[in-house]
Each structure stands twice: as structure tokens, then as C-alpha cells.
Amino acid sequence: MFGNAKDDESSTIGTPASNDAPQPTAAPVTDNGAAGAINTTSNGSASIDRKPSDASAPAERKRRSSGVSRARDMFSSAKQSLHLGGSSGSPTSSTSTMSEKASPQTPMQKLGKSDAALSVPQGSLNNSAGESAPGPRSTFRVGVTEDKNKKCRRTMEDTHAYLYNFLSTPAPSYGAEKTRAISDASSTQSDALSQAVVETDNGYFAIFDGHAGTFAADWCGKKLHLILEETIRKNPNTPIPELLDQTFTVVDQQLEKLPLKNSGCTAVIAVLRWEDRVPNAQSSTGSVLFAPAAVSAIKHAGEGEAKDGADSAVEPAAEQQVEARLRNEASRQRVLYTANVGDARIVLCRNGRALRLSYDHKGSDENEGRRVASAGGLILNNRVNGVLAVTRALGDAYMKDLVTGHPYTTETVIQAEQDEFLILACDGLWDVCSDQEAVDLVRQVHDPQEASKKLVDYALARFSTDNLSCMVVRFDNKALRQRKNDAAMGVDGDQSTMKGGITEADAIVAQAKKAIGEPEVPVEAAAQEIIMEEAEAEPAPDLRCSCPRSLDYWSHTLHAAPRSNAIIMSGVDTADSTTNALSNDARPAFVTPRDLLQQSRAPLPPREQPRQLSAVDREQLDGLRTIRAFLKARTSYDVLPISYRLIVFDTALLVKKSLNILNQNGIVSAPLWDSKSSTFAGLLTTSDYINVIQYYWQNPDALARVDQFRLNSLRDIEKALGVKPIETISIHPDRPVYEACRKMLESRARRIPIVDSDDETHRTMVVSVITQYRILKFIAVNVKETQKLRKPLKELNVGTYEDLATASMDTPVMDVIHMLVKKSISSVPILDRAGTVLNVFEAVDVITLIKGGVYDDLNLTVGDALLKRSDDFPGIFTCSLNDNMSTIYDTIRRSRVHRFVVIDENSKLKGMVTLSDVLEHTLLEGMEDE
């Protein structure tokens, strides 16, 4: 990922289906097909709010709490979903092999025995819907490429599905009897395997981006299209955008009844249909679907007869007359419907211009933020309750009251002369590529498979850090124009549907059902059984661990957030040293009696009497020992949040451009990568930009070249200023957090990158970055023994109380920058003339002043510069000398804290306590007494 593009090989899944894989037994029915004329366009949307049906809800349903405490439950269930991707990655067999017996079954495999749809084997291009291939009259082609992005992700949580012959467009239903007949016909197919697949040339395309495991994404890849088909069958007169909303609601309700309720996924789906449409000036597309138009016209005809004194019911002859009139007005058109939740995206290329047909549901979106707030939630760090990055998703039952599943929908009439292709992709692509860039990149690539691979390769070369799934649907506009006047496929009543047959999806499921046989138990019972097994299984670890006092060495197993197959640690040394526990083979050799009788060459020094400790001292040391034991028992990877974002800069990047990227993404640091040597090259922080400003202030003649300055010259700046560079450090994800803390203290670094090596190429890769704040909050949330740290600051050697750099509101910003560089500090307290603390000027405030490449604001005073702070600035945090480490940890647990300003009762400055001070005290205090 972080090297040259040639080193980043994407895994394009383009192998043909195995000969052993089940196939639909009958070829698609083919007759002369057609494509209708297209002349109008729309980018409208529809979203309907309603409550789920009470009938499908549990009998005793409690309102789920959406606090962060619920997110902690994700750790215990996420470990169950580590191998779910494998359930859909290989065909399901009715015979158990030795390897299957040896490994436990995943929830998807267990549910697949009761629901044939979940046991459908993956099709070509890893298609979760099964094997689907274009027919002789298909007017589009699909290409899919997916890449785990193994340099940044240890699991693949994306799933995709597509069908070349989705359900035909149903004929209108004019009464209850006909509606029942349609429903019965679709559900009473006695011998599905013997029926032919109807070639509808209606397409279904979907990408699901999972989080907290792959269960929700895998389930949606197998089931959502089936639920959508059934919903359309039962509601032939309802507009498709509303049916898409109903389908997403049903999916949420069904996922809620299944195990792994903490699993969720974003989703973007598209349905491409042939439709008979009637002109309608009031519609945003200029036309409406024939079925609802016919029903509405017949209803109005009945109301007219009622006014004339006749029966309001319309005679069959009158129905046929109204329908015939509308048939003459209707035309066959190609219509695209889309629906999405989350940040997966769909883009239509129209005459080379990118048209987005989805909406990014993120915490940073103002409208979504208001919706979450009105539902009782919070947006913290652009995440719902500080946990989930998206505000809409399928699944995530534990916070469903905030993270709704209602989609954003669009309806677009496809224009054969202008519309060229669709791009569906997860956020792994869109994080590093704009809509127009994606369209421009593949517009001249007519093979959709090659186009999808090109987009994935581009994202990898641009340092995407997420799983990548990209689907390209290329329209065959020549075929569309040829079939303009042919109405033989895709709509009920056409020649293909008149001959009978079943949908492609039903044929695929029927083949899977034949393979597994009749289910032994219903799927609801199977799900309940899995839930009971989870409840009876070994409980999740108590994150608030305590240090054993009776053993020098202890070992246990901890299960934490999923990273690879599982995170397992054993044999952890809890003694306060950086050495590992000795193995049995490495124990000290036996000491002979002669060795004991030998006289020592030098007399031993007199043994000091142990210092008497007060009860508060003993409790304080006991709390610190427990924290240190906890840090040694947890890996550095455990500190990372459930999901995170990483931006890595190449050292050849311009400093000005790197600054713009940091500001755009709201971050203050990024790992550096040397693409020439393919090695980790350090960490870019705000201090580096401060040093650059100081250098050009001292060397004004070089200011003209500031826009050409690159990141690989930052160390030259430090040498010129005489600034001692911070040592380049990193930590392996499997090493204890304690070791990461020691490295940070020894090198004076406030952040430490997690660096791993690729299992196959053995190349170095940056996984993420952990900060002192993240580590301290990790302690505050998980170790209850922080409450024992009750000694006041005035009795501890924590913080700086002498030779403090200070400034006033009238101090020029450049003078503060000189202080930051000279003292190698990141902030300066702002005082009034009486010494009262007014504010704190931070290094990040300088970054705010120079964003966009404008440097005039550096001439402002501190007071004027502070007015330019963003509205979400958390403020400054103060404490007194009577406060203790327990209250400091509690504040870190509740708030985003960078430092504490120590003041007296009159708000006069007494000192500063940084996060480095807190971490140093936690690791080193009382070591001599242990």
C-alpha cells in the first residue's frame, strides 16, 4: 500500500465458477428482446419514516441503550464473527469432511442448514447471490474487483452481489383476488428445478461494507435481493423507492432476530428494470410506472361513476378499457433505482460527467448530526456516540434507535445516448478518489472487469487503508437502441414471461435447497439455538483486570477486539520490568552447595530498612501495579478503536500539500513513508510545521521557495534550528502496550505508529498510530483501580511548576512560536496582567492560521488568533494541587483532554500537567518500592 503501485497487487476475483458448483438446470428463455426509448432524466429521492411492525418485534422488547457502554459488548460478540467470510467463500456441501468436523461452524454455516438461501455457494467474481451470467439479450455487463488491502486490514468485511435476470416488472393488481393469485403463484412452485429461468434483462447490483464482523454483510449479500423480490411481488402497485425502504426495514427486523446483533454493514444497491411508463408532467422523471398509474386511473373512474349515482366498483370491461388507453400512451423505458445507507456510493457516468446517486450518511454531515441528536444520541469525533462512523446502516441492533436503516433512494430514467456506466464502491475507494476522478479514470475502459480492477489499483496506489470493493456496470447502448421497439422481455405479459418459468434468484436457491435437503429445524429455532450457545459460552474477558499478588509469573488468555483470527495472549509477565517471563527451559541453573559456601569477594552493603507506607500510599501503589499489569497483558493493537482511519504521507510530498490534507481530514499527525526504500520514515506532527515556520522566519530569503519544500527535508530544518529530533520509534501490534509506553517516554514522543510486516512479501507496513491520550483513556475505561490513585498532586512529583513559558492576549503569535520551538513544548498558557489563566495557545492553533497556504495571520496577536478557533474546540481543563490522579483519569475518560492547567483558588497559574506527565507517573512511580 505504501510503496510503488507495482508492489500493491489487487486480487481481482475473476476465476470462472467451479464445475462442481451447482448451476441452474435450465437455460434462460430467449425471444426477441427490446429496449425502449428514453428521453427524460431524474435524480430525485424518496424517504419514508415509519415504525416497524409490532407483529415482528419480540414480545417483550426493551429500548436499547445507545451509550458507549453498549459498544463494549461488541468485543464479546465480534470474536464470534471472525471466520464468517469463509462461510460464503466456498461452496456448501451436504457431506461433512474431516476438516469441517475439526473446525467449529460459523453462525452463517449453522443458519445455512435451515435457510437454503444462506447456503448458496459463491458465484463467479465471488458473487454472493450465486452464479449469474449474462444471456444472449443482456444489455449490460458487470465487472467486480475486491481487495482485502492486506497491508492495512487483516480481515475482509465487504460483500457484493449481482443478478443479470432480476424479477420481471409485475403487472398491475386491480383487486384482492388478483393480488392473492400473484402471491400464491410465486410461493407455490412445486418443481422449481425443472422450470426455465426467465431472461428479464433486469439487473440487481449491491455492495455491503461490514463492520464489527462480516455477519451482517454476508447475510445481506445472500438475502436482501430475495426479500426485495418478494416485496415487489406482494406490492405490484407500489412505487419502487417505497418498496426499497420497506425492504431495508424488513432486513433490519430479521437481522435483529439473529445472533451477532452487534454486526452491521453499510449498503448501496441498484435495480435496473425495463418498465412500461406513462407520461406524467407532475413526476420529476416526466413519467410514472404503468401499474400505479393504471390503478389510480381505474380508481378515479370508479369515483366518477359514484358521483353519477352508480356503483363505485368498476366493471371488468371498464378496467380493460382504461388499461388499454394507458397502454397506448405508455412506452418501454429503462429505469434505474438506487438505495443506500452509510458511506458506500454509486455514481452514474452521463456524457462523461459523474452523477452521484447516493448520499453519504456520516457523523460529519450536519443533517445526520441533527437527526441523531433528536433521537437522543451524540456525535463525538464525527462518530455516533463516539463509536460508529456512519449514521445509517443495516444491522447494528444495539444502537438501532440512532443508526436507522431507512435508505436514501433515487429514480433515474436511463438515456441510451448519454448514460455509459455505473460505479458502485465502498468507502475504501471514495476516501481517496472523487466521483469525477473515478469516471475519468475508466471511461475509456470498455471491459467492466478491467475497469473495476483499475479503480481498485488506483485506490491502493493512493494509500487507501480500508477494504476495497468496486463494481462497474457497463451499459450496451448499441443493444439498447436495437431493441427500442421490441417489448419481449422484462415486464409481465411479455413473450418471455408468458412462457412461464422462475426468476434467476429462485432457481439458484432451489439448487442450494436440493443440496442441503429439507431443514431439520426452522431458521428461527436455529438462530435461537445459536444465541443460547453464545450466552452459555465462555464470557468475554473482564477488562478491569487486577494484578495477582501470590505469583511472580502468571498467565491467562485474553480475547479482545477482532484483528486476525483472534487476539490471544498468554504467558504475560506482570513483574514491573520489560523482560518477558522465563520459559521452563530458560530457568536459572541449579546452584551447588559449594557456590553457597564461597565467601563473597566484597562485603555486602547494609540492608536498608523498608520504608513505612501509609494506607493511602499502599493503595496508590496497588492501583499503579494493577494498571501496569493491565498494560503488560494487553497488546498495542487492543488500544485501537473498533474502526479507525489512517492517512500516510510519502516523504516526497510537498509540505504545503500535506498541510492541506491534514486540515481537510481533521487530523494533526500522519506516518511518513519512504517509497524509494519502502520503509517507515517517522511521524509528521504539528511540531514539524512549527519548525518550518521558525526556519523561514530566521531565513526570510528562503521564503520564496516554501511552496516547493518537501517532507523529506524536515530533518534538515531541525538541524538548522538546532532542535533535537525525536527518535523514530514504532511498535509491533502484538507487543504489550506497556512496551509502547516505555518507548514513548524514552523518546519524548507523544504518538507511536503500529508497524507490522506483510506475511507474504515481508515488507513493512503501517497499521495505525496510537497516542498518549488513546492509551490513557484505554486505562481509564477498563481499569477500575484508577480510583485508588487518591494522593493529591501536591504530594506527587507530577507536572512542571517552574520556568513555565507564558504569554498574554497581546503577545504576537510569532513570539509564541519561538517559545514552542525553543522549549520543545506544544502549548503556552495565556495569562492576564494579574497572572490569571485566560486560555491556552496550542501548536494546533498555528496550523489553523496557515491552512490554505496563507501566512499573513501569523502576524496576529494571540487574542485575535484564538478567535479563529473552530466552534467544536473542547476548551481548556484545569485542576488544583488538591486534585489527584483518580480525578485526572476520570476526566480523561469523559473528555478529550490534551493537558491540565494547574491553578490555585484565584485561578492563578501554578503549573502544567501534560499527558506525558500522567503516563510517566503511571509507569514509573513507586518502582523502587516493588
Q: Where does the pLDDT of residue 530 fall: very low under 50, low under 70, confident under 90, or very high at 90 and above?
A: low
Instruction: Name the nearest CA neighbour of 690 among 805, 812, 822.
Output: 822
Mean pLDDT over all residues of the chain? Answer: 75
- Asked if residue 630 belongs to a domain, the reply is no
Window from 52-61, 439-448, 695-704, 708-717 with minimum mean pLDDT: 52-61
Q: Is the pLDDT of residue 415 over 70?
A: yes
Long-range CB contact pairs, 735-738, < 8 A, 24+: 735/635, 735/636, 736/572, 736/631, 736/632, 736/633, 736/634, 736/635, 736/636, 737/631, 737/632, 737/634, 737/635, 737/636, 737/638, 737/639, 737/775, 737/778, 738/578, 738/628, 738/631, 738/632, 738/923
Beta strand pairing status for 764-771 and 827-831?
Answer: unpaired
Res 672 pLDDT > 80: yes
Cell digits of residue 850? 496557515
The answer to whether residues 355 and 480 belong to one domain is yes
Q: Tell me the pLDDT band of 376, cut-offs 50, 70 and 90.
A: confident
Q: Which three cell numbers stand for residue 825?
A: 513544548
Residue 411 near residue 285 (C-beta atoms within 8 A): yes
645 and 526 share a domain? no
Residue 160 bridge partners (DSSP): 207
Cell triple for 902 = 494547574
User: Are 162 and 303 part of one and the same domain?
Assistant: yes
- The average pLDDT across 567-575 equals 28
Q: How far apart are CA 681 and CA 679, in angstroms?
A: 6
pLDDT band at 918 (very low <50, low <70, confident <90, very high): very high
Nearest CA-CA partner of 903 in 912, 892, 895: 912
Q: At 9, is the pLDDT very low, low, confident or very high (cuts 50, 70, 90)? A: very low
Residue 300 is assigned to a structural domain of this protein: yes
Q: Is 576 inside any structural domain?
A: no
Question: Do residues 510 and 642 share a domain?
Answer: no
Mean pLDDT of 762-776: 87
Instruction: Note whether 384 and 402 are within 8 A (CB).
Output: yes
Q: Is residue 581 part of a domain?
A: no
Look at residue 819 and give its three-state secondary structure.
helix
User: What angle do the packed helices 772-782 and 885-894 form, to 10 degrees?
Assistant: 100
10 Å Cβ neighbour count for 674? 17
- Band of pLDDT at residue 757, cut at 50, 70 and 90: confident
Predicted confidence at residue 246, as pLDDT, reads 95
Of 265-274, 348-357, 560-569, 780-789, which range is least confident?
A: 560-569
Predicted confidence at residue 533, as pLDDT, reads: 60
pLDDT at 185 over 50: no
DSSP alpha helices (H): ranges in 235-385? 240-256, 290-307, 316-329, 366-374
Mean pLDDT, range 597-619, rounded to an integer = 62
Q: Strand pairing partners for 498?
A: none
Does pLDDT of 535 surpass 90?
no
Q: What is the pLDDT of residues 216-264, one digit of tens each?
A: 999 999 999 999 999 999 988 888 999 999 999 999 999 888 877 678 9
Query: Do 527 and 646 lie in a common domain?
Result: no
710 vs 815: CA distance, rounded Å:
25
**670-675 average pLDDT score:** 85
Residue 651's domain is classified under what CATH number? 3.10.580.10
Query: What element of type H or E holds 846?
Result: helix 843-850
Q: What is the pLDDT of residue 565?
A: 33
- 316 and 440 share one domain: yes
Higher pLDDT, 158 or 560: 158
| Strand order, beta sheet including 419-425 | 140-147, 468-475, 419-425, 345-350, 353-356
Residues 508 and 643 in one domain: no
Domain range for 640 = 636-929
CB atoms within 10 A of CB 519: 16
Q: Domain holding 345: CATH number? A: 3.60.40.10
Q: What is the pLDDT of residue 463?
A: 86
pLDDT of residue 791: 92
Q: Is residue 582 part of a domain?
A: no
Number of domains present in the structure of the chain:
2
The pLDDT value recorded for residue 262 is 76
- What's the average model confidence in pLDDT over 596-607? 46
pLDDT band at 336 (very low <50, low <70, confident <90, very high): very high
Residue that finishes a domain, picked among 532, 549, 573 = 532
pLDDT over 50 (residue 374): yes
Q: Which amino acid is at 885?
A: M
631 belongs to a structural domain: no
* Same domain as 527, residue 640: no
Q: What pLDDT digit, counting tens, does each position of 425-438 carry? A: 999 999 999 999 99
Residue 547 in any domain: the answer is no
Range 806-835 average pLDDT = 92
Do 521 and 642 fall within a single domain? no
**Mean pLDDT across the stretch 713-722?**
83
With bands split at pLDDT 50, 70 and 90, how would you rate the model's confidence at 213?
confident
**Domain termination site, one of 504, 532, 560:** 532
Domain closes at, from 501, 532, 563: 532
**322 band by pLDDT with thresholds 50, 70 and 90:** low
Strand partners, 29: 198
Mean pLDDT computed over 40-55: 38
Q: What is the pLDDT of residue 531?
A: 61
Our measurement of the distance from residue 358's CA atom to the centroid of its chain's CA atoms, rounded to an integer in Å, reads: 17
Is 558 inside any structural domain? Answer: no
Q: What is the DSSP string of 259-291?
A: S-TT-EEEEEEEEEEEEEEEE-TTSTTSEEEHH
